[in-house]
Amino acid sequence: MSQTIIITNEDILRQVKLSCKLPEIIEQIVTYKIITSAAEEAGIKVETEELQKAADLFRLMNKLNNADGTWTWLEKHGLSLDDFEQIIFGGVIVGKLSQHLFTHKIEPYFFEHQLDYAGAVIYEVVLDDEDLALELFYAIKEGEMSFYDVAHKYTQDTELRRKGGYLGIVRRHDLKPEVSAAVFAATPPQILKPIVTSKGIHLILVEEIIQPKLDNKLRNQIISDLFEEWIKQRIEPVKVVNNFDSGS
């Protein structure tokens, strides 16, 4: 025999508070208010056609291939059709506001910060013995061992071991400062002398340095970075007043 459980708005609010996610949700609310206020001040409007295109893209990305699938998704998340339109509106207004604020700043920002967007293709093995790391470094340099052999023998992570220590394309902010400095000063292909950090002793092969190109992907990334910083600067001084009873 099934049991019916009634969940009230108060139950939901209490659970949000008990999950300690209230500060995160409040920040999202403040962010939305900052964005909509700035968009209104800038005279930015969202046309019906823009909403429709964004809604179609949203459904495509979430595999909501028909009306039934969309309604099921809305019910699962406790959303109405108006709520769905509000989600789509929020996404569109963020895009239009960020373009309005920062499109003209992309190129100057890129030329000032292009080193931050450079990439490096690297392989890495992290050891806990500096003497062993040096021994392996010279063995690789002298051609006695390959980096793949070292990674296969000394990497603990299974997937990383299978890939020979391959980390893919990393950027400066992905690495510890002492590692980043050495990696981006390398002349590929180059094995770096072991670098000691709090994580261990890093043995790194730099395969390639990829210089950034200001293509559409990077343009969007720069706008996203600038917009995120813009939001942070406006959230920090905001005083939030809520009507939640902390004792409830």
- Domains in the chain: boundaries: 9-108+219-235, 119-210
Query: Residues 173-204: pLDDT tens digits?
Result: 999 999 999 999 999 999 999 999 999 999 99
**List of residues 6+ apart from 114 with CB closer than 8 A:** 212
DSSP element (H, E) containing 182: helix 177-183
What is the domain class of 119-210 according to CATH? alpha beta
Chain-centre distance for alpha carbon 88 = 21
pLDDT of residue 128: 94
User: Exposed, middle or buried: residue 222 (CB in 10 Å: 0-12, 13-18, 19+)?
Assistant: buried
Low-confidence ranges of the chain (pLDDT < 70): 1, 238-248
Q: Give the per-residue pLDDT at 142.
A: 93
Output the pTM of the full model: 0.74
102 contacts: CB under 8 Å, gap ≥ 6: 222, 223, 226, 227, 230
> What pLDDT digit, counting tens, does each position of 16-49 carry?
899 999 889 999 999 999 999 999 999 999 999 9
